[in-house]
Amino acid sequence: MWIKDRHMWMVFVLPGVILLVLVLGWPAITSILYSFETEQAGDAAYTLANYKSLLKDPFFSTTFWNTTVFVFFSVALHMILGLAVAMVLNSALPAKPMFRVIALLPWVVPDVVAGIIWKWMYDPIYGALNDLLIKIGLLNNPIEWLSNPKLAMTSAILVNLWRGFPFVMLILLAGLQSIPRHLYEAAAIDGAPKLQQFIHITLPGLKKMIVVALALDIVWEVRRFGLIQAMTQGGPGVLTEVLSTYTYKQYFKFFRFEYASAISVVMTIVLLLVSLPYIWMISQEE
């Protein structure tokens, strides 16, 4: 080829970069610039007024905390359940294809639809979940899953666990499938117990994929919107208000475009900081 090998990266990487910059460049810049404008001042002045309001906004700090709790537990549970299921699905198991499809099912329902369905299932009077639990004797009285202030966030996280773990599971399953079998065989011959095999073969082999799954899932969960919006609209009160629903409200319900932009910029900066370690790890030279 006429291109030197060390310049070949451009052939591979640049198409993606160009697409992203072309399509997202202008919207991203206008959005960021918007956050420095205010409705009163118009286009002329650039101020930090929106950011100052953010600091004083009592709802913002609650929302921020909720988002942290929601994302942390969602991602952690995704990783644990996803890894466990991936390992089971990677083992010698009959009817594997069927189980794999079942484990994938929650992922094929769109966010908004899942939110609507679960909201209905969670309903204290005519919800299927309470009905089922009472019928099989686990409950005596219906639980107010989404109205009880102590349960609301937990109920939301449980739905998000259902909805999102297949993503992690699929990545980790693919990762597990690429760990060479002979490593396990050699260890078994050496008499190493399963736990040892897990710690010394599986985990290191999966390390890169775990980093990828973590980073992507964190970004994805911070973006998670339709699910929560459909189930609780951020309520009761602001108990399940997260940054995505809060931004949506500001933009589409209150028409406070500039303020919504400021919230988004803050959200982006925090996400960037959180994902820096992952970016570092994934770009390590082997």
Partner 1 sequence: MRMQAAKLQPGDILVKTLIWGFLILVCIYCLIPFAWMLSTSLKTEAEAFRMPPTWIPLKLTADSYIGIWVRKNFGIYFFNSTIISLATAVLSTFFGALAGYGFSRFFFRGRRFLIGFFLATQMLPGVLLVGPYFKILSKVGLYDTRTGLIIAFLTICLPFSTWMMKGFIDKVPDELDQSAMVDGCSRLGIFFKIVLPIVAPGMVATILFAFLLAWGDLLWALCLTSSESMITVTLGIARTVGEFRIIWPMLMAGSLVGGMPAILLYIFLQRLLVQGLTAGAVKE
Partner 2 sequence: MKKIFTISVFMAVIIIVFSFNSAMAEQVTLRFSDWHLTEDVWNKSLNEGMDIFHKQYPNIKVVLEPVSYGEKETKYTVESAAGRAPDVFHVHAFSLPMFFGKGFAKDLTPFIEKEGSGFLDAWYPLPIKLMKHNGKMHAMPGDYMTMVLFYNTNMFKACGLDPDKPPKTTDEFLAYAKKLTRDTNGDGKVDQWGFGTVGAKSPGFSMRFGPFLWSFGADYLTPDMKRSALDTPEAKEAFAFFVELYTKHKVVPPGLTAMNPQEVRTQLAQKKVAMIMGSGWTPPIVNKINPDLNAFEVLQCAPAPVKRKQATAIWLSSWVMSPSTKHPNEAWQLMKFITSKDIELKWFVDNRVTSSRKDVSGVAPEILNDKFASVMASQLPYGKVEPQIKQWPEIMDTFTTSLQEAIVGMKSPEKALSEAHERINAILAR
Per-residue mark of binding to partner 2, 228-247 (x: CB under 8 A): ----xxxxxxx---------
Half-sphere exposure of 44 (CA within 13 A, CB side): 2
User: Cα–Cα distance between 129 and 132 in angstroms, integer?
Assistant: 5
Q: How far is CA 58 from CA 14, 62, 65, 244, in A?
A: 43, 7, 11, 17
Residues 8-37 that bind partner 1 (CB under 8 A): 8-13, 15-17, 19-20, 23-24, 26-28, 30-31, 34
Residue 125 binds partner 2, judged by CB under 8 A:
yes
Of the pair 49, 161, the CB lying nearest partner 1 is at 161
Q: At what angle do helices 203-223 and 58-90 cross, to 10 degrees?
A: 140
Residue 69 binds partner 1, judged by CB under 8 A:
no
73 backbone dihedrals φ, ψ, rounded to 5°: -70, -40
Per-residue mark of binding to partner 2, 184-223 (x: CB under 8 A): ----------------------------------------
Residue 34 binds partner 2, judged by CB under 8 A:
no
Q: At what angle do helices 96-104 and 58-90 cross, to 10 degrees?
A: 170
Stretch that binds partner 2, among 1-9, 147-155, 174-182, 184-192 (CB under 8 A): 147-155
Residue 174 touches which member of partner 1, partner 2, none, C-beta under 5-8 Å by kind: partner 1
Question: Residue from 91, 137, 141, 150 that binds partner 1 (CB under 8 A)?
Answer: 91
Looking at residue 239, what DSSP letter applies?
T
User: Cα–Cα distance between 251 and 249 in angstroms, integer?
Assistant: 5
Residues 164-223 that bind partner 1 (CB under 8 A): 167, 170-171, 173-175, 177-178, 180-182, 184-185, 188, 194, 208-209, 211-212, 215-216, 219-220, 222-223
User: By CB under 8 A, how many residues form the interface with partner 1?
Assistant: 106
Instruction: Name residue, tokens 């082999």.
Output: 205
Stretch that binds partner 2, among 136-144, 172-180, 194-202, 217-225 (CB under 8 A): 136-144
Of the pair 172, 243, the CB lying nearest partner 2 is at 243
Copy the structure tokens of residue 118: 């679960």
Q: How far is CA 189 from CA 92, 184, 185, 193, in A?
A: 18, 9, 6, 10
